[in-house]
Structure 1
């Protein structure tokens, strides 16, 4: 937890009282004392610092701090992800990892190889998803909570919702193992948002790939190896985020990131 995230309504007269895991972290991990500074941010808002005023180490534990918010939140991510619903235990890890890496939106979609039982998983509950995303933001020192939407029908999403959504994006890519070009070959140097579509274990079927390509997605492959969904998501995010960051830097006239 590299930043303590707060709801806006938790602050009263520039002070906040923390309990639960946030207080435990400040007391046990940070080993803070009165007068110490801690990094603080408002969910979907500014960042700043808190000055510890009081710590209660006995149960129920609590920490009281004054809050100063002087910094703007990090810039918006350049990558969004369209993801066929993975196994619940894998989705938990992916939500945290993607929030840490930085995405604006995550679309969870049905596909032929998605098991029906996955849709009953507790991780799809909005509050459960939110807690996992917050853990990723705490790791990355970010405040902007990704927007997650759930789409149980592949065809209705492709035909009715996707045409409106893709107007946001400069580049659309669909990952599929096989003979498709790699990300470096596929990338079109045009700064802006990129939407990366990642299929289920075993990949998209032919109809799904065809539907995405017909909607404007370019097929891309990480090679002949069959990867776990969480591995593919992270690898693709890292590759395309680097390419997008490089193009933004070049357009701005600065040195490209290494």
Structure 2
């Protein structure tokens, strides 16, 4: 936990927070601060800064906060991701939050097992939990927006063209594709398929929506590997 995320309901007085949940347990076990020491904190969807320890006991910690800095800049990206299997979804959600993705569309695909859409990990609370872990790792505070699209064709035909308009619109595909373009801080729409990739019909529909196929070499990558590799290739370090 490189940043302790704070929520509005943590405040017990102006500038003063009390924590007694997972965050307190982490602070108590890992940071082991003394009264008067400072910790790195940030307000969810707000500023970052520091907090001085006022009180610490076996049940809770009280902090005096000073929030003055902007969080790291977001990637100018909308990520279109075929729904991964649940175990991989948890890691991928944390990764995208850590790397600065703020708009994620989880979509259906021929190779996405129908059972994946029934996972409890798609509940608002479960999605939020994984995204918060990614933000804590990165020292970020801005929660990504996640939308679910269970029908491939309506999404690609009715919504994707507007999302992709006036952006660098790309779909990761290892076959019949151009090399990944150089890094640029440009508005981008990127689609990444499921394990085994998008089928030909889906690639054709994505191309009709304006997305150009790209690859990052001859090696076939798992989704959880492809996501950070592509983001690192497409955008300069922030």
Residue matched to 2:127: 129
1:83-117: per-residue Cα shift (whole Å, max 9, x none)? 00010000000000111111011110000110000
Report the Cα distance in structure 2 between the residues aligned to 1:132 and 1:193, rounded to whole angstroms.
25
Report the Cα distance in structure 2 between the residues aligned to 1:197 and 1:149, rounded to whole angstroms.
14
SS of the aligned residue for 1:51 comes to: strand
Residue matched to 1:6: 6
Report the Cα distance in structure 2 between the residues aligned to 1:38 and 1:236, rounded to whole angstroms.
33
Task: State the superposition RMSD in angstroms.
Answer: 1.6
Residue matched to 2:55: 54
Shift of 1:144: 0.7
Shift of 1:191: 4.5
Show the 5 A alignment for 1:1-258. Answer: 1-11=1-11, 12-57=13-58, 61-167=59-165, 169-184=166-181, 187=182, 191-242=185-236
Shift of 1:194: 1.1
Report the Cα distance in structure 2 between the residues aligned to 1:2 and 1:178, rounded to whole angstroms.
39
Report the Cα distance in structure 1 between the residues aligned to 2:152 and 2:93, rounded to whole angstroms.
21
TM-score by length of 1: 0.87
Residue matched to 1:252: none
SS of the aligned residue for 2:79 comes to: strand
Shift of 1:228: 0.9
Whether the aligned pair in 2 keeps the contact of 1:170 and 1:190 (CA below 8 Å) is no
Whether the aligned pair in 2 keeps the contact of 1:179 and 1:223 (CA below 8 Å) is no
Whether the aligned pair in 1 keeps the contact of 2:80 and 2:107 (CA below 8 Å) is yes
Whether the aligned pair in 1 keeps the contact of 2:167 and 2:188 (CA below 8 Å) is yes
Q: Which runs of 5+ in 1 are unaligned?
A: 246-256
Residue matched to 1:253: none
SS of the aligned residue for 2:73 comes to: coil
Count, aligned residues: 237
Whether the aligned pair in 2 keeps the contact of 1:178 and 1:224 (CA below 8 Å) is no
Q: Which has the higher helix share?
A: 1
TM-score by length of 2: 0.94
Whether the aligned pair in 1 keeps the contact of 2:185 and 2:235 (CA below 8 Å) is no
Shift of 1:20: 1.6
Report the Cα distance in structure 2 between the residues aligned to 1:2 and 1:106, rounded to whole angstroms.
23
Q: Which runs of 5+ in 2 are unaligned?
A: none
